[in-house]
Structure 1
Amino acid sequence: MNAEEPLQSADRVSTGLSGLDEVLDGLRIGDNVVWRVTDLDDYRRFVLPFVDAASATGRQIIYLRFGQHPPILQQHPAVRTIEIDALGGFESFTSRVWHLIEQHGRGAFYVCDSLSELLNAWATDAMVGNFFRVVCPFLFELDTVAWFALHPERHSRMTLDRIRQTTQVMIDVQRHGDEVQIQPIKAWRRQSPTMFLPHREQDGQFQPITDSSDATRLQASLELEHPHRQPLLDYWDRLFQEAGRALSEQDDACIAELQEQVLQVLISRDPRILELARRYLSLDDLLGIRSRLVGSGYVGGKATGMLIARNILLKDAPDLWQQQLEPHDSSYLGTDAYYAFLVHNGLWPAIMRQRSEAGYLSEAPALQGHILAGEFPYEIRAELERLLDHYGQYPILVRSSSLQEDGFGNAFAGKYESVFLVNQGSPEQRLAALEAAVRQVYASSMSEDALVYRKQRGLDQREEPMALLIQRVNGRFHGRYYLPDAAGVGVSRNTFAWDSNMAPEAGMVRLVMGLGTRAVDRIEGDHACVMALDHPMRQPFRNQDENYRFSQHLVDLLDLQEGSLDTRPLSQLLETTKDLPMAHLAEVDRAASTRAEQIGLQGPIWRLTFRPLVQQSPFINRLSHLLKTLEAGYRHPVDVEFTLHLNDQGEPSFNLVQCRPLATIGETGPVAIPDPLPENHLLFRTQGHFMGGNINLAIKRVIRVDASVYADLTTSERYDVARRIGEEVRSTDTPTLLIGPGRWGTSSPELGVPVRFSDIAGVAALVEVSEKAGEMVPDLSYGSHFFQDLVETGTAYAALFPENNHCDYFPNRLPLDTAPAQTSAHPAIRVHHLKQRHLQLTGDVVGQQLVCYFTD
């Protein structure tokens, strides 16, 4: 090629070839140039003159090396080569490129490897287009010139069209024997009568083929070289097409290879999850998942956990669970749809600002607002519409299923949103509601709780795209209401055993009537039924009255008339709904029923004790079997969510909606409680009512909320106390014991201190105290999201009931020289720095003894 006197000016840039400059009227500052080639050698032949011309003018030239193909440039003295790993995923790769462009600033020139190489790392073709839609405008904004190549036969029409729409210059290069032909496809803001004709190379010049007969013959000869070229298919689609072929032909070697390939792009990158998936998700299973996937990419951790758990039961214990496990009817919105949404709405610059250290929390609220106002790409909207056709007018639940969610050690319990949809109205109304729900879940990835959680666990710089799990809500229509018969959370290890006879390995359940929201969230002013599976009838209450008092009185359900998730008192629900399965879930409170009849009220009065379910059905045995089977399959304790469907005899079938590895604090080996322990050394002692297994912690600071002062505060003042406690907790990393009245983390300040978990996540131990001042009573709601947070962060927990015989508490033994809080002091907050002697918190899970005492 001949590069005679290439064109250069203030706003013009040469390609390095005068003949090509003539065809294109040169390049402009800001141009992104995409070369569509069948052989990368043709790209190299054009790159070298461009680099030489740019070098002659003193330009900074960066070669972004990310492909598996041989380098485009070899040790050019004017070029800085930067290698980037694309295997970390779309977000990490795109962020790295973004920061490099930002770092090199205005006027830099770039040469890039083939965009088609990104398919080897990401599999999903749509993300190649999204990457280009992110970086091309940024390069244009910074007055750069950047060159890219791609192999058009490896990409879908949609991706090629989006790249074409975004770039400034696109050129096709085709070869017939030794002849090279170029054809500009796009040249933004320039035109000539022959610019977009095919051009044949002759001695460094490019002559337009102006004779239509000549052009037709040339095109025919090119087509003869590829006589059976297939319609363009996405790489992702080709992978699943090949998987289907391998299964139909029973090609075992190919099946094993394709199973591994599909697991890597559909299920997870986590080695422990992949090991599980290899054992329990066959290639046939994976094709079934693909058939229910909207878009492409990963289905996310929550969906993966549910699918693996179901297959553990069906494959390891088919005789029972083929009959007793209800078929799932879930759909999935892939992680690529999340990125496509962000790119489609121009939110990548905002994402980059939020990912910075300075903007990690401060940029999130604005980004949340933009996500909530975003629109969906057409292809995603069309698939969501088809998904709604499948579910008809059954209520559905839109759940987060992020890449890291529900993994080993990272449950993200309650950090992201789940949205119930009654799914009523016209198709247009139902689609609008579904889109709003998806946006709401997407936006929850920017919530402060989620971001703080990720930061604390060192996940803030790891890719965390949001997939969605969309499930038909299991239940029945009861007039204007829709709800399941019952729902619950089950754990295969009971680290909150309140009786020394209870075996932690037997597991426990937290059970409610209606929607499971009341089983996974701490219920304000109401109580789920908590049962140890080896002693289900042994409740932590002193008498029947207390058992009734601390039972469930409110039911979560979907109100079809109002179109929302709602809560109704059980007594009110029974007045209008006569076909609820009360005889299988509840007992009649005869004394209360008699009193009601005496004042003219209709009875009976039901109490949700779940005794009939336990005593008259195989519920406990089946749940125990389910948890043991899953723990064996996971080779780790598990935490599940389920709903129950009762037949006319009250026999339950299970609908498993979630499964994840259970985070556990305990199992640290035996601990020794001093015996005898001097009475005046004791801060508190309790039998049972603590969580964390065996505990052995040295405490050097105590933050205590004075109940007598706190009880007299207004609601706003109580929120102020919660805020100040968060500031005090974060002021130092000293091992801290936090003691307060009633419930930590409540949303009802009259029941305790309304801190967010992110405010107190750094404490070593958390203590809730039953106080006579007000109705502030601890809530033993193990299995709720709040307690899951405690378990995951390794925070020990205790509930103290000083009015009971099994508990002693002596707050006045804390040192009187109370140090002022690091923030402005508040009379309700006592901060005790233990400089002379520290506290030791010791818990024996076998003996169910917990003591906190001063050391000498």
Structure 2
Amino acid sequence: MNHEPLQSDERVPTGLAGLDEVLDDLRIGDNVVWRVSQLDDYRRFVLPFLDAAASTGRQVLYLRFGEHPPIIEDHPAVRTIRIDALGGFESFTSRVWHLIEQHGRGAFYVCDSLSELLNAWATDDMVGNFFRVVCPFLFELDTVAWFALDPQRHSRMTLDRIRQTTQVMIDVHRHGDNVQIHPIKAWRRQSPTMFLPHREQQGEFHPVTDSSDATRLQASLELDTLHRQPLLDYWDRLFQDASRAIENNDMQAMSTLKEQVLQVMISRDERILELARHYLSLADLLTIRQRLIGSSYIGGKATGMLIARNILLNDQPRLWQTALEPHDSSYLATDAYYAFLVHNGLWPSVMRQRSEAGYLSEAPALREGILAGRFPAEIRAELERLLDHYGQYPILVRSSSLQEDGFGNAFAGKYDSVFLVNQGPPEERLSALEDAIRQVYASSMSEDALVYRRQRGLDQREEPMALLIQRVNGRFHGRYYLPDAAGVGVSRNTFAWDSHMDPKAGMVRLVMGLGTRAVDRIEGDHACVMALDHPGRQPFRNQDESYRYSQHLLDVLDLDEGALVTRPLSQLQPAAPQLPLPHLAEIDRQATERARQIGLDGPVWRLTFQPLVQKTNFIDRLSQLLHTLENGYRHPVDVEFTLHLTPDGEPAFNVVQCRPLATIGETGPVSIPERLEPGQLLFRTEGHFMGGNINLPIERVIRVDAPAYAQLTTSERHEVARLIGQHMRMDSAPTLLIGPGRWGTSSPDLGVPVRFSDIAGVSALVEVSEKSGEMVPDLSYGSHFFQDLVETGIAYAALFPDSRECQYHPEHLPIPEPLNTEATPPERAVQVYQLGDRPLQLSADVVGQQLVCYFPK
């Protein structure tokens, strides 16, 4: 650290004249670290310092966070402030930061032993990072702060970082009644004997100037520590003890250590911990540790994936020992995220962003700082070894934040995932991996993520970002790499579009290629959606419509371009002749004949997945998978998976994500009016809605007029999305949002490209099939946008006015709010209806699959 331009020359006494003489006094701005094996040796130096500070009228704050007896008791010049360290590194460090900020310049501080933080955090690296954050801040504010630590409890890396950061460091050694101090660092001070050991005699400190005496002193100290545990990280000692307990088959120690490891590596959520206690063994936890970079939590996404796999292997071993693909995952722990922020000097920016005023406004600057950051050397070395393990197989870098994929907080699509083709020389692959990690870290500062956290009351809770790094399941097909198929399965089908479907049977959203097209709203294309109890029953009127609304585009990794790309199936077929199309698709005979007539070779395939359904045990296995996981979680689940097909088409599953499914609970019996007078009905539909039983009053309708929207340019359609967000922020009345095609698509040709954060306060969302622009609703159950609707309790309906099961009468709405004569085309496309004293009623009966929106009498 180079603080030289800022150092004050003002001297501060330690309260012991002999010690002042050794150190040439303290200076304003000094952080003083006492390395002691017994806290009494720290306490005896603290008390004279307090008396000296009190005599000059200094304000002294005692930061009390340890479990040891207090360092200071009932001193008239001292204010004791208790701080809970159990909330984690971020909350503790933030609390200390704000205290320093609040008390401003010139305050003095005495702190408990930093080693006590290990009891709360278990990870030694964070003790060093805490000091690297607060020491420069204390220095800037012209304070003097005293700290203690037991050097035998910390790693050499932590001790070195604290030494590099502090201004003064003193070792205290005790050999019986003989006490010596040994200044290790005294910044900007120097004397011929300052850094020699000093014996204390009646308040004076005499340097040991005889080399023979110094050698004997050092030998006696080494003899005292000969039988002590070597300098290992606390985290490493924990797992060392766990390995020893397993080796000795010490059941009591294994039980105790397993609970300790779960608390510091798996979760703080008691419901997740309950699952982990049941399904993760101590040996499992040691296996995770072997694949972990850094220390502390692996995050919610990684935890969910691991628990799900063990539920299957433990509860249905005969099936899943063969039908479940082995995973090949690594983990970048939460402390690596904090270490990255501290290493790049970003903590002041973090504190500004965490404030109420800066929560959104400071995020872009912090995001840019993260994207420009560099990794600590020890993490970079581990990333190199990780790439050695994966070779040149493509890998996926996924967010796995502390709160992610928990009960009620899925964070679906809020944070980035980055595919890496992982080709080229090692240094290029390492650079690409570092860029991907920075991108995922930076995505924690996206507006969507921050708004989501605030809406769910999580904005003040610690949310460090861990990472799940996985080998991409798939095969090489020449220049392309892709899995045979992928999908999202849900154990409860709350989008049952047919009254014969059992919601408890579950549902799947299936694609060929990478699973990105199963979890995101597809632009100009469709995933295959199947109810697992009626997989052959599709929401289409005929075979042509089934083909039209099937998947035509595949997401694949292009090794030549070095990126994730989207390719038409027809273009992939010649380049990848080994694609398992006979197991996933059907031949469109009419299209094949038309192609033959114009000189094109080969059949035209349609990805209906009917061979997989009809000729293999896919449906049965997926149903068992979802049922077993729901039983294990004791809650409906949402599962992402890939499929690896045998030569005869039988699927093996690779579970890549599992989380509790957010559902809109039933509201009890709902009365659906049989007859309505002319003018009462806005819409009615059989099926095509989500939310269970619904009973909502609607006080405002925002409707995008389809013909007007169809005439807009692409930029004007984005302006429509912005205007809708503006209307939602202006008024919190219960609102029904109606628009053509798909809400939340990134393609304005398919619908309105709103972000979820723009419409998060809406009560119900309606997508209408409109002839203008061929905008068709997408039954995108399992997509991130849809998951947001479910989590937030937003009712959803898809209206197909041309079908017999649907009635839609927008003309029954009252006159919309007037526009001024200078209204732009986007403003004219957005119609707002304030219903005032005559609200609409939205009612749904999930059993009868009836949804109606009407004006009550």
Matched, 1:498 2:501: no
Q: Is the Cα–Cα contact under 8 Å of residues 819 and 833 in structure 1 kept in the other structure?
A: no
Counterpart position of 2:368: 369
- How do 1:29-428 and structure 2 match up within 5 A? 29-428=28-427
- Write the deviation string for residues 819-856 of structure 1: whole angstroms up to 9, x where unpaired: 669x9882111111111211110111111110001122
Deviations 1:476-530 (A, max 9, x none): 0000000000000000000001100000000000000000000000001000000
Asked whether the equivalents of residues 61 and 78 of structure 1 are also in contact (C-alpha less than 8 Å), the reply is yes
CA–CA separation in structure 1 for the residues paired with 2:237 and 2:138: 32
Cα separation, 1, equivalents of 2:837 and 2:760: 26
**Structure 1 vs Structure 2: percent identity of aligned residues?**
80
1:680 deviates by 2.6
Deviation at 1:157, TM superposition (A): 0.2
Distance 1:515 1:585 in 2: 14
8 Å CA contact 1:169, 1:188 repeated in 2: yes
- Matched to 1:853, the amino acid is Y
Whether the 8 Å CA contact 1:384–1:431 is kept in 2: the answer is yes
Equivalent positions of 1:668-683 (< 5 A) are 668-683=667-682
Instruction: Give 2:589's aligned residue.
Output: 590
Letter in 1 for 2:829: A
CA distance in 2, matches of 1:193, 1:820: 84
SS, match of residue 772 in structure 2: coil
C-alpha deviation, 1:817, in angstroms: 5.4
The equivalent residue for 1:845 is: 846
Determine helix, strand or coil for the equivalent of 1:644. Answer: strand
1:854 maps to 2:855 = yes
Rounded to whole Å, the distance in 2 between the matches of 1:746 and 1:587 is: 28
Instruction: Give the structure-1-normalised TM-score.
Output: 0.98
Aligned to 1:543: 542
**Counterparts of 1:708 and 1:608, CA distance in 2:** 32
Query: Residues 654, 817 of structure 1: CA spacing in aligned structure 2 closer, same or farther, 3 A cutoff?
Result: closer
Question: Are the counterparts in 1 of residues 816 and 832 from structure 2 also a CA contact under 8 Å?
Answer: no
Unaligned residue ranges in structure 1 (runs of 5+): 1-8
**How many angstroms does 1:222 deviate by?**
2.4
How far has the Cα of 1:805 moved from its partner? 1.1
Q: Secondary structure at the match of 1:753?
A: coil
- Which residue in the other structure is 1:827 paired with? 828
Q: Which residue of 1 aligns with 2:486?
A: 487
Note the 1:563-578 alignment, pairs <5 A. Answer: 563-578=562-577
| Cα pair 2:110 2:146 within 8 Å, conserved | yes
Tell me the amino acid that sits aligned with residue 831 of structure 2.
R
SS at match of 1:400: strand
Maintained 8 Å contact 1:495/1:666: no
Write the letter of the residue equivalent to 1:680.
Answer: G
Which residue identity is paired with 1:436?
D
The superposition leaves residues 552-580 of structure 1 with CA deviations (integer Å, 9 ceiling, x where unpaired) of 00011000011100010000101221110
What residue number does 1:6 align with?
Answer: none
CA distance in 1: counterparts of 2:816 and 2:411, whole angstroms: 40
CA contact (8 A) 1:819 1:832 kept: no
Decide whether aligned partners of structure 1 residues 842 and 819 sit closer, same or farther in structure 2, where only a CA change above 3 A counts: farther
The equivalent residue for 2:4 is none
DSSP 3-state at the match of 1:382: helix
Partner of 1:816: 815
The answer for unaligned runs of 5 or more in structure 2 is 1-7
**CA distance in 1 between partners of 2:213 and 2:665 (Å):** 80
1:715-773 CA distance string (max 9 Å, x none): 11111111111011111211111111111111111211111000000000001111122
Amino acid at match of 1:682: L
| Counterpart secondary structure, 1:749 | coil
CA contact (8 A) 1:593 1:605 kept: yes
Find the aligned partners of 1:576 and 1:155 in 2 and give their Cα distance.
57
SS where residue 34 of structure 2 aligns? strand
Per the alignment, residue 698 of structure 2 pairs with: 699
Letter in 1 for 2:253: C
1:522-560 CA-to-partner distances (Å, cap 9, x unmatched) read 001000000000000000000000000000000110000
Find the aligned partners of 1:105 and 1:767 in 2 and give their Cα distance: 54
Give the CA deviation at 1:225. 2.5
- Letter matched to residue 124 of structure 1: T
Aligned equivalents of 1:717 and 1:540: distance in 2?
32
Query: Aligned to 1:558, what secondary structure does the other structure show?
Result: strand
Select between 449-458 and 825-834 the one with higher mean Cα deviation.
825-834
Q: Distance in 1 between matches of 2:224 and 2:710?
A: 85
Q: How far has the Cα of 1:231 moved from its partner?
A: 2.3
Question: In the TM superposition, what is the alpha-carbon distance from 1:220 to its structure 2 partner?
Answer: 1.9
Cα distance in 2, alignment partners of residues 239 and 25 from structure 1? 42
Shift of 1:804: 1.1
3-state SS of 2:255 partner: helix
Task: Report the Cα distance in structure 2 between the residues aligned to 1:463 and 1:409, rounded to whole angstroms.
Answer: 16
Q: Secondary structure at the match of 1:745?
A: coil
Distance (Å, rounded) in 1 between the aligned partners of 2:706 and 2:598: 38
The answer for the alignment partner of 2:5 in structure 1 is none
Q: How many residues align?
A: 847
- Give the counterpart letter for 1:322 in structure 2: Q
Encode CA deviations 1:32-87: one digit per residue, 9 max, x unaligned: 00000011011110001111111111111111010001111102111111100000
SS across alignment from 1:774: helix
Q: Secondary structure at the match of 1:642?
A: strand
Contact 1:820 1:831 (C-alpha < 8 Å) held by counterparts: no
SS in 2 for 1:261: helix
Deviation at 1:583, TM superposition (A): 0.3
Secondary structure in structure 2 of the residue aligned to 1:525 = coil
1:788 aligns with 2:787: yes
Using structure 2 for the length normalisation, give the TM-score.
0.98
1: CA distance between counterparts of 2:733 and 2:673?
25
Q: Distance in 1 between matches of 2:816 and 2:230?
A: 80
Aligned partners of 1:764 and 1:212: how far apart in 2? 81
- The 5 A counterparts of 1:718-729 are 718-729=717-728
1:229 shift after superposition: 2.7
Q: Please list, as runs of the form range in 1=range in 2, the aligned pairs for 1:600-615 lying within 5 A after superposition.
A: 600-615=599-614
Deviations 1:777-828 (A, max 9, x none): 111111100000000000000011111111111111111253669x988211
RMSD between superposed Cα atoms in Å: 1.2
Contact 2:9–2:27 (Cα < 8 Å) also in 1 = no
- 1:224 to 1:603, Cα distance in 2 relative to 1, 3 A: closer
Partners in 1 of 2:128 and 2:597 — Cα distance?
73
Contact 2:740-2:770 within 8 A present in 1 as well: yes
The one-letter code sitting in structure 1 at the alignment partner of 2:848 is G
How far the C-alpha of 1:125 sits from its partner, in A, is 0.2
Is contact 1:666-1:695 (8 Å) kept? no
Give, as a single letter, the amino acid of the residue that structure 2 aligns with 1:617: T
Runs of 4+ in 1 over 4 A off after TM superposition: none
Partner of 1:649: 648
Structure 2 CA distance for aligned equivalents of residues 284 and 596 of structure 1? 58
Query: Residues of 1 paired with 2:213 and 2:347: CA distance?
Result: 46
1:754 partner SS: coil
* 8 A Cα contact 2:60 2:77, kept in partner: yes
Aligned with 1:319: secondary structure? helix
**1:566-618 deviation digits (Å, cap 9, x = unpaired):** 01000010122111001000000001101111111112000000000000000
Are residues 1:620 and 2:619 paired?
A: yes
Q: Distance in 1 between matches of 2:534 and 2:312?
A: 24
What is the alpha-carbon distance in structure 1 between the residues aligned to residue 244 and residue 75 of structure 2? 46
